[in-house]
Structure 1
Amino acid sequence: MPVPVFLHGRSVRLEPLAEHHVEALAVAAGEDRGDYSFIPVPSGVVAAERYVADALAAQAAGLALPFATVRVADGLVVGATRFCELDYWQGPVIWPPAPRGPLGDPLTAVPDAAEIGGTWLSAGAQGTGINTEAKLLMLRHAFETWGVRRVSIRADARNTRSRAAIERLGAVLDGVHRAHTRGLDGAVRGTAFYSILDDEWPQVRARLEQRVAADSVADGERPLVSA
C-alpha cells in the first residue's frame, strides 16, 4: 500500500491524518455545518476520534490514504480528504475483474487506479482556493508519482454544487448509478461517477495550475464534497 506522504502547496498542506488532528478537526467541522448534507463530517471530539480511527484502520488495511487539510497561512486544520478505492492491476488477469491488493511488498507497492473522496472543508476555508490546490497536489501525486491510469471522484447525484466543482477540475462524467445507495438523509440516492485518465492529465494539470497561480476561484465555487 502507498506510504503516507506530505503534499505541500502554496496555500494548503496535506498531512497524513493522525490522532493529533482530532481536536482541530472537531473545531473545523463545527464552524458551520450547513454545507454537510451529503457527506458524513464528524460533529464533536468523540465523533472526530471515531472518524480518525476509522480512517487509520482503512489505511492499515491498504484501502485508503487519508490526509488532514492544513491552511498554510495560519497552520490551522481546515478539513480532510483521502485517496481511497486503491486498485492494483499487476499479476495475472483475473475474471471477472475485481479490486485486489498489491502483489509483493505492500510497503513499496503503488496503485494503478485510485479515487479521491471523503473531502470536506470548514466554512471559513470554502471558496478560498484551498480545495483547488489540494486537488492539484493529489492528482499530481497520483499521476506523476504513482503513475496511475485513472483517478475517480464520485458524488451524490443530488449534490449539484459538488458535481459542478468536480467538473471544473476537468473530470469527465462516466455515468450515474441510479438508486445506488442510501444518502445521509436515508433516501435512496444515485451516485455520479467522474474520472480523469492519465492521457487527460496534462491538460487538466495546466488548467488547475493556471487557477492556482491566479489565486482565484471561479464565481460561485463551493468546496468539493465527494462521497
Structure 2
Amino acid sequence: MTTPFIEIGPVTLVGELVRLEPLTMEHLADLSVAGNHHEIWTYLDEPTPGEDEMAALIVDALDEQARGLRLPFAIIERADARAIGSISYIDIQRTHRAVEIGWAWVTPGHWCAGVAREAAVLLIRHAFETLGAIRVAFKTDSRNIRSQRALEGLGATREGTFRNHRILRDGHVRHSIYYSVIPEEWPDVAP
C-alpha cells in the first residue's frame, strides 16, 4: 500500500483575528517594527533584529522554503492589515505526512490576545483537513513556560524532553520539550 505524500505549498489562511499569508520581503518593514523587542527572541536563539537582521531572517526562511524545508507565513492582524509576527511549517516530512509548527513569534503587544493561538489553529486545521497530515508537532525551550502553557491550553499533548538538544549562541545547553496533536485529537483542539 502506498501512502500519499503531503503536497505542501504557499497558501493564505484567514481567521477572525489574523490572516496568514506567504512570507515575502514586502513584510520587512512591519516585521522589523514588530520584532524589535528583546523578549521575543529569548528562546529563539536570535539577537533582537533590526531591519538588516530581519531581512536576513526572511531571506533564510525563503531559502529554506525554496529547498522544501520550510513554509513561512507572515501573521497579519486583520484589524489594520499589519504584519505582527511570523509562523512556519518546519520539519516537513512528506512521506510520513507530518509537520512541525515553529519559528512562531508575535509582537508583545499582541501576547495573550488570541492571535498566536488562532495562527496555530489555522495551521493545524490546514495540516489535517487539507494536507492530510497525521501529526503536527511543536517544540519549545524547557525554560519557556509561557509557550508550554500556550501549547497545553491549545490541547497539544506533551510528549517528552530532548535533553541537551542544542547549544545556543550564548553557550546555554537547551533541553527541548516536544508536543503534538494527531487527527484523533483535532476535534478537541478545534475552536
Distance 1:9 1:194, change over 3 A: same
Further displaced range: 41-50 or 67-76: 41-50
TM score, norm. by length of structure 1: 0.78
Which protein is bigger by CA-based radius of gyration? 1
Task: Please list the CA deviations of residues 129-154 of structure 1 after superposition, one character each: whole Å capped at 9, or x if unmatched.
Answer: 11111111111000000010000000
Task: Please list the CA deviations of residues 20-72 of structure 1 after superposition, one character each: whole Å capped at 9, or x if unmatched.
Answer: 11121101111x32343101365111111111110001000011100001100
- For 2:114 and 2:123, locate their aligned partners in 1 and report how far apart those are by CA, in whole Å: 15
Structure 1: state its 5+ residue gaps: 90-110, 210-227
Residue 184 of structure 1, CA deviation = 4.3
Distance 1:73 1:148, change over 3 A: same
The equivalent of 2:60 in structure 1 is 54
The match for 1:150 among 135, 151, 154 is 135
Contact 1:41–1:120 (Cα < 8 Å) also in 2? no
Task: Name the amino acid aligned to 2:121.
Answer: L
The equivalent of 1:82 in structure 2 is 88
Contact 2:38–2:48 (Cα < 8 Å) also in 1? no
Richer in strand (by share) = 2
Number of residue pairs the alignment of both structures matches: 184
Q: RMSD in angstroms over aligned alpha carbons?
A: 1.4
SS in structure 1 opposite 2:91? strand
**2:22 corresponds to 1:16:** yes
Structure 2: state its 5+ residue gaps: 1-6
The equivalent of 2:42 in structure 1 is 37
Task: Please list the CA deviations of residues 54-106 of structure 1 after superposition, one character each: whole Å capped at 9, or x if unmatched.
Answer: 000100001110000110001111000000100022xxxxxxxxxxxxxxxxx
Percentage of pairs with the same residue:
39
The equivalent of 1:162 in structure 2 is 147
Distance 1:185 1:166, change over 3 A: farther
The equivalent of 2:106 in structure 1 is 121
Runs of at least 4 residues of structure 1 off by over 3 A?
A: none
TM score, norm. by length of structure 2: 0.92
